[in-house]
Amino acid sequence: MKYLIVGLGNIGSEYEDTRHNIGFSVLDAFAKASSAVFTSDRLAHVAEVKFKGRTLVLIKPTTFMNLSGKAVNYWLQQEKISPENMLVITDDLALPFGKIRIRPAGSDGGHNGLKDIQAVLGHNNYPRLRFGIGAEFSKGKQSDYVLGKWGEEENKTLPQRIELCCEIIKSFSTAGLQRTMNDFNNR
């Protein structure tokens, strides 16, 4: 069984440790815990993790957030993985900081990365893990907030929330989407 685990974010040091790059941060932590190393490949930084008889292909698109669909589509085709076996990890302004929501499908919610994936795939029927970043910004400052670094209070609990996301990835690949949703959506 093969799974594609997609962490959304933007490449470049100026985007490291920003709210919008939570997908990259989760995959970095997952790879590190699994002793996997990312290498540059076509349209993404890629790592492979073997877990309980499953192969997890981790990708961090290098196409920038707004063109994530190109990398996602390429790696689904390259690895011959169906969208049901893909999990996209993304930030979400509509959820309070640290809140996790796993869904089998859904709208892009105004998120440009999800919007592009939907446009390229032609549907929105793929699992996603939405990581709440809150909406603590004044009118007209959404971009600054999303691309901003985590605050001092957020940094206190961020490692535990990222660890929870790593557990979700393991559960998704072994127990399946429905059980993972039941086990993790209210934690």
| Residue ranges of domains in the chain | 2-184
Pairing verdict, β 100-103 and 44-51: unpaired
Residue 182, pLDDT above cutoff 90: yes
| pLDDT tens-place string over residues 94-126 | 999 999 999 999 999 999 999 999 999 999 999
Distance CA 126, CA 37 (A): 26
Q: Which residues contact 127 (CB under 8 A, 6 or more apart)?
A: 84, 86, 87, 88, 102, 103, 104, 105, 172, 177
Confidence of residue 187 (pLDDT cuts 50, 70, 90): confident
Count of C-beta atoms within a 10 Å radius of residue 175: 12
Helical residues (DSSP H) of the chain, grouped into ranges: 22-33, 68-79, 112-121, 142-146, 152-174, 177-184
Residues 150-166 pLDDT 10s: 999 999 999 999 999 99
- Residue 20 annotated in active site: yes
User: pTM, whole model, 2 decimals?
Assistant: 0.97
Selecting among 20, 45, 111, 123, the annotated active-site residue is 20
Q: To which CATH superfamily is domain 2-184 assigned?
A: Peptidyl-tRNA hydrolase (3.40.50.1470)
